[in-house]
Amino acid sequence: MKRIVICSLLACCATAGLAAANLGAPENRVLWREPRPMSDAAWVWGPGGREHAPAPPFRFVKENMGGTNPKVNVRDARGALWIVKFGGEVHTEVFAARLLEATGFDAEPVYFVERGTIAGAHGLKRAKPYIAKDGRFRNARFKLRDENGQSFSQYKWSWVDNPFLGSRELSALRILAMLASNWDTKDARDGEGSNTAVFQHPSVGGSFYWYAVSDWGSTFGSWGGFMKRSRWDAAAYEKQTKDFVKRVVDGTVVWGFQGKHGRDVSEGITVEDVRWMLPYLSRITRDQMIAGFVASGARPETAARFAHALRNRIAQLERIAGASGPPTE
């Protein structure tokens, strides 16, 4: 599926006017679509499927200096272009893509590659510690890049300014961010550091424009302040699970979550919003979760711990949706 990243609604008046024109009719602006149940294999291979997985050997194109993590661009044996990331986010983004696909949100083809060789790597700066002189590497995230896409990095959206305010779909995305303990929920208000984007998907009869959270690297650890937060940390994720849902007050859920724009992410979600999302979360099996975590680079025992905690969080949602569970006020 082709996808084009386009620019921010909150940039400047001239850009915003151009953006509105580029987005076409309101009915072509999409946050969520009804997902089909995912097979066990889909949890292993993710949105790109087995047929689009990275195919070695890999050939160095250039070092990619975007963002804060070390990255290089490579081509694989089929000529596909990949953005290869190293560092602390290589596991989290891979599992998050599978969870997004399972629940109806936009997800990119991403894969975890445990080891390999990149031929011709040279002149490296940030990526130098991760790629040996003979090109060998370990533990990398491969994201498929659509070379037909056009990027307008100034175009983002905000949790409090978007076309879906008050919708079940936006509430579901907010629940998903908290379910994954995604503390880095920056948006258009954070300028170039925003983790929101809009993607164009060309289709028969015209393009659709998907609003998405584009960075899920800071997930599956602890939410909280600078000294408390973590990512891909099963023990921390387990520990905070008991505080995922705190209580229900007059039909509105109170969450334990803390993160960037935390109130905008967590406040105002109702039990009815939870009920709307649950059919898509509840059908994900423990074995599928484990398969997804293993495909993201977790050892089987760690994958089981992550899956148990994630299933526990979903069970909390099931309890409040069934009018039991945490105390109400």
pLDDT tens digits, 221-250:
999 988 889 999 999 999 999 999 999 999
Mean pLDDT score, 202-207:
67
Position 18 scores a pLDDT of 35
Q: Provide the token pair at 147.
A: 């070379």
> Which of 109, 157, 143, 216 has the alpha carbon at shortest distance from 6?
157
The pTM (predicted TM-score) of the whole model is 0.90
pLDDT tens digits, 260-282:
999 999 999 999 999 999 999 99
Instruction: Name which of 4-8, 11-15, 26-30, 240-244 the model is least confident about.
Output: 11-15
HEC-encoded secondary structure of the chain = CCCEEECCCCCCHHHHHHHHHHCCCHHHEECCCCCCCCCHHHHHHHHHCHHHCCCCCEEEEEEECCCCCCEEEEECCCCCEEEEECCCCCCHHHHHHHHHHHHCCCCCCEEEEEEEEEECCCCCCCCHHHECCCCEEEEEEEEECCCCCCCCCCCCCECCECCCCCCHHHHHHHHHHHHCCCCCCCCHHHHHHCCEEEEEECCCCCCEEEEEECCCCCCCCCCCCCCCCCCCCHHHHHHHHCCCEEEEECCEEEECCCCCCHHHHHCCCEHHHHHHHHHHHHCCCHHHHHHHHHHCCCCHHHHHHHHHHHHHHHHHHHHHHCCCCCCEC
pLDDT band at 66 (very low <50, low <70, confident <90, very high): confident
Average pLDDT, the chain: 88
